[in-house]
């Protein structure tokens, strides 16, 4: 057996997310079908994490064990030839079996792009268009509250019965503004279900004057589900980078 570490990018618009769902078109299932055809045997593709329906990735990593030793360059060409145009392999590396696409991750960076002015139609596949003005300075100030180690119970939908420990560390949560575009960058090791989208959702609410800047601190301190009802649309979210040793 040969273990391959594969780096890809994909456009999430036409997929129900990364994870396989019976009867649904997903990125994982598409890749498994392509690689199984090339390898001539059933394969299991293991990703660096789940992505929601319509979420895209500029840098996503998975590993897969195959029987054929085609070489890195040939595997890259073969997988791309079997994949649709909205999934693209940029690198294939033969790695030791100790490498695990998910458990070896050190950090992941997600980026959320908000367009507040006129938009280019070609960008609606990966940008969220917000029709009303946003107070970017309030969003910049509020985002600082997410940085550090906190109990994110109020900013995700993972049930406590499924994952009791909902403490996570956010290394960076940065809001930048350029003309009619607001970009929110979030860096951390691990995230709970909808965590990034709910973090972005409350920043949009604060920028829309629906909540005060200190609302994030209140939710974090209360450690309860349902206090914050905000969740950003999936379409604006992109997995930007995955970091390994």
Q: Which CATH number does the domain housing residue 224 bear? A: 3.30.70.660
> For residue 124, what pLDDT is reported?
84
The domain boundary residue, chosen from 54, 70, 95: 95
Task: Tell whether 89 and 112 lie within a shared domain.
Answer: no
Task: Tell whether 88 and 143 lie within a shared domain.
Answer: no
> For residue 123, what pLDDT is reported?
84
Task: Tell whether 73 and 125 lie within a shared domain.
Answer: no
Task: Tell whether 28 and 132 lie within a shared domain.
Answer: no
- 119-161 pLDDT, tens digit each: 788 888 889 999 889 999 999 999 999 999 999 999 999 999 8
Give the rounded percent of residues in the chain with a pLDDT score beyond 90: 91
**Is residue 217 annotated as a catalytic residue, yes or no?**
no
Residue 92 has φ and ψ, to the nearest 5°, of -130, 130
Domain count, the chain: 2
> For residue 36, what pLDDT is reported?
97
Containing domain of residue 136, as a range? 107-243
Task: Tell whether 82 and 132 lie within a shared domain.
Answer: no
- 215-230 pLDDT, tens digit each: 999 999 999 999 999 9
29, 39, 52, 69: the active-site residue: 52
For residue 208, tell me if it sits in a domain: yes
pTM for this prediction: 0.94
> For residue 205, what pLDDT is reported?
97
Q: Which CATH number does the domain housing residue 54 bear? A: 3.30.70.580
Q: How far is CA 82 from CA 29, 114, 177, in A?
A: 13, 33, 39
Task: Tell whether 89 and 204 lie within a shared domain.
Answer: no
Q: Over 90: is that where the pLDDT of 204 sits?
A: yes
Task: Tell whether 117 and 77 lie within a shared domain.
Answer: no
> For residue 181, what pLDDT is reported?
94
Q: Over 90: is that where the pLDDT of 179 sits?
A: no
- 74-129 pLDDT, tens digit each: 999 999 999 999 999 999 999 999 999 999 999 999 999 999 988 788 888 889 99
> For residue 118, what pLDDT is reported?
80
Task: Tell whether 149 and 189 lie within a shared domain.
Answer: yes
Task: Tell whether 138 and 237 lie within a shared domain.
Answer: yes
């Amino acid at each position: 057996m040969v273990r391959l570490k594969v780096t890809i990018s994909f456009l999430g618009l036409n997929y129900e997310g990364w994870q396989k769902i019976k009867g649904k078109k997903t990125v994982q299932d598409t890749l498994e079908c392509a690689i199984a055809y090339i390898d001539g045997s059933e394969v299991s593709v293991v990703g660096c994490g789940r992505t929601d329906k319509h979420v895209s990735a500029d840098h996503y990593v998975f590993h897969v064990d195959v029987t054929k030793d085609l070489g890195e360059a040939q595997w890259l060409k073969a997988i791309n030839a079997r994949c649709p145009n909205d999934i693209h392999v940029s690198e294939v590396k033969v790695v030791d079996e100790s490498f695990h696409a998910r458990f070896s991750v050190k950090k992941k960076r997600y980026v959320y792009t908000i367009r507040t002015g006129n938009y280019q139609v070609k960008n609606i596949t990966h940008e969220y268009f917000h029709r009303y003005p946003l107070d970017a300075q309030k969003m910049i100030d509020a985002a600082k509250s997410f940085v550090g180690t906190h109990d994110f119970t109020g900013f995700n939908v993972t049930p406590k019965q499924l994952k009791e420990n909902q403490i996570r560390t956010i290394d960076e949560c940065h809001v930048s503004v350029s003309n009619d575009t607001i970009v929110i960058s979030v860096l951390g090791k691990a995230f709970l279900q909808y965590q990034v989208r709910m973090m972005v959702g409350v920043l949009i609410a604060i920028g829309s004057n629906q909540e005060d800047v200190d609302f994030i601190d209140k939710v974090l301190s209360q450690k309860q589900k349902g206090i914050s009802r905000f969740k950003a649309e999936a379409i604006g979210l992109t997995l930007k980078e995955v970091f390994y040793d």
